[in-house]
């Protein structure tokens, strides 16, 4: 995949959607948006109980899934911190967390953004959401000894799922 390529999406949640790559993969991020982890690193560490991107792998580089921890059914043991971490998509919709054109939520947006898709308005909103999540890292720093991974595992898993370093 390269700048100028058009990605065509045909999966269970989205058909007939296409987007053009406008930046090199992993480059040209918005000012202040500096995730600690790539999508591949997140998938390898274990996110969303392994039940994410299962039917949309063709959209993304195969290398992202080489060491990914995936499951056909949600499995909390697959998560990096071994805890339940996901809510039904219906909850995400109800709370207004789904921003079109990404029906799977923030991580889908991040995967597409990482590849090089840029969407005015959508990107700004998602970057603001990401920045607001930094408060969780602050809570871990304020309430846990450094690198005590047994302290606040749910918050650490959430940080991981937003591409923050959960090992602080």
Q: Where are the domains of the chain?
A: 37-161
Q: Is the pLDDT of residue 10 over 90?
A: yes
Q: Is the pLDDT of residue 101 over 90?
A: yes
Average pLDDT on 139-158 reads: 96
Average pLDDT on 136-145 reads: 96
pLDDT range class, residue 89, cuts 50, 70, 90 = confident
Distance CA 105, CA 82 (A): 22
The pTM assigned to this predicted structure is 0.95
Give the pLDDT score at 40.
97
Average pLDDT on 48-74 reads: 92
| CB 46, CB 69: distance < 8 Å | yes
Average pLDDT on 50-54 reads: 85
Give the pLDDT score at 88.
82
Give the pLDDT score at 86.
79
Average pLDDT on 39-62 reads: 93
pLDDT range class, residue 125, cuts 50, 70, 90 = very high
pLDDT range class, residue 87, cuts 50, 70, 90 = confident
- CA nearest neighbour of 45 among 25, 61, 64, 26: 64
């Amino acid at each position: 995949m390269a700048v100028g390529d058009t990605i065509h999406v045909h999966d269970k949640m989205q058909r007939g959607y296409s987007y053009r790559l406008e930046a090199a993969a992993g480059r040209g991020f918005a000012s202040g948006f500096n995730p600690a982890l790539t999508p591949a690193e997140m998938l390898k560490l274990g996110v969303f109980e392994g039940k994410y991107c299962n039917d949309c792998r063709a959209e993304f580089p195969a290398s992202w899934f080489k060491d990914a921890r995936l499951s056909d059914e949600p499995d909390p043991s697959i998560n990096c911190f071994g805890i339940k971490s996901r809510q039904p998509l219906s909850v995400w919709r109800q709370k207004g967390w789904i921003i079109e054109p990404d029906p799977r939520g923030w991580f889908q947006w991040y995967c597409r953004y990482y590849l090089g898709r840029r969407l005015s308005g959508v990107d700004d909103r998602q970057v603001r959401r990401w920045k607001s999540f930094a408060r969780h890292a602050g809570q871990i720093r304020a309430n846990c000894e450094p690198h005590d991974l047994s302290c606040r595992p749910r918050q650490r898993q959430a940080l991981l799922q937003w591409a923050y370093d959960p090992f602080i």
